[in-house]
Amino acid sequence: MDTAKLASTRTAYGETLRELGAENPDIVVLDADLSSSTQTCIFAKEFPERFFNIGIAEQNLVGTAAGLAAYGKIPFISTFAVFATGRAWEPIRQSLCIPRLPVKIVATHGGVTVGPDGGSHQMTEDFSIMRSLPNMSVFCPADANETRAMIRAVANYNNGPCYIRLSRVSFPEIYDSTHKFIPGKSDQLADGKNLAIIAVGYMVHSALEAAARLKNDGISARVINMSSLKPLDNNAILKAAEDTGAILTVEEHQIIGGLGSATAQLLAENLPTPMKIMGVKDIFGLSGEPFELLKMHGLDADQIVKEAKELLKKK
């Protein structure tokens, strides 16, 4: 992993949309007046006749996409995560999930790394909101190359609507351009026998950094990128629990309703295992620099190392 090389997940999204648009004339893109931020502007420049700026009207954004999907188009819709899952929740439920229409909701600016925009724009409840909807799939890539693979995968994904969370900040590259994303499958990035760290989004990079530090202390940590939150890779989680006897989850999301909650429910029903859920602790965000906010919320490699060592005491 080249920690010095950073790449934007939202730029990777826009570039992949442009590639897909050239390959498939049924792909259409809709945005809620934020295309320069979501990077759907890359598609719009190339295919203006298949790009629709709905304006600051997120419910209409979803309704229009539903109509296009019902007539055989492949709609990708984008806005900030706080608007996509907040303002548009009811039409997502009624118009996408109940009829199981294959609309791709790709929301940018998720998590606390939205930074200076503050708590009003730092969406940390989106995994929970979207996971709770029947027929909705939920994904979150670990870097730009996984974003590309994920967008390509969901373009052909017809198992109902899906929600993809992207970030405002650039990510360290973990994968190369050959990476493949399969809905419902995780990716083990490091093996370990003492505990497993299961992470999503930017936290995958932090988990790898923490695992390297733990190794220097004689602790062997498995690292799993759980970029598919729903469907969840149950087999990988249960195997990690059986092999290591301790599970630590890390997410840039509330500790309620996200990756940690999904993992805990699975383990409680099948294989009770000592675990720790790391995330935003039931509070709203503050304005600040992205990585200072991660540190404030205890979402950095230093805190992962500390929590991992505390967790091992419970085995």
The pLDDT tens digits for 281-291 are 999 999 999 99
pLDDT class of 4 with cuts at 50, 70, 90: low
CA distance 65 to 75: 6
Task: Decide yes or no: CATH 3.40.640.10 for domain 187-312.
Answer: no
DSSP-derived secondary structure for 148-205: HHHHHHHHT--SS-EEEE--SSEEEE-S-TT----TT--EEEE--SSEEEEE-TTHHH
Domain ranges of the chain: 2-173, 187-312
Question: Same CATH fold, 187-312 and 2-173?
Answer: yes
2-173 to CATH, choices 3.90.45.10, 3.40.50.970, 3.30.750.24, 1.10.645.10: 3.40.50.970
pLDDT at 223 over 60: yes
Mean pLDDT value of segment 96-123: 96
Mean pLDDT value of segment 80-107: 98
pLDDT at 3 over 60: no
The pLDDT tens digits for 22-78 are 999 999 999 999 999 999 999 999 999 999 999 999 999 999 999 999 999 999 999
Percent composition of the chain: helix, strand, coil (DSSP 3-state, to 5): 45, 25, 35
Laid out side by side, the sheet with 195-199 consists of 187-190, 221-225, 195-199, 247-254, 275-280
Mean pLDDT of the chain: 97
Contact assessment for residue 1 and residue 164, using Cβ atoms and an 8 Å cutoff: no
pLDDT at 196 over 80: yes
CA distance 305 to 315: 16
pLDDT at 200 over 90: yes
CA distance 260 to 237: 11
pLDDT at 2 over 70: no
- Give the predicted TM-score (pTM) of the model: 0.96
Which residue stretches of 245-289 are H helix?
Answer: 259-270
The pLDDT tens digits for 249-288 are 999 999 999 999 999 999 999 999 999 999 999 999 999 9
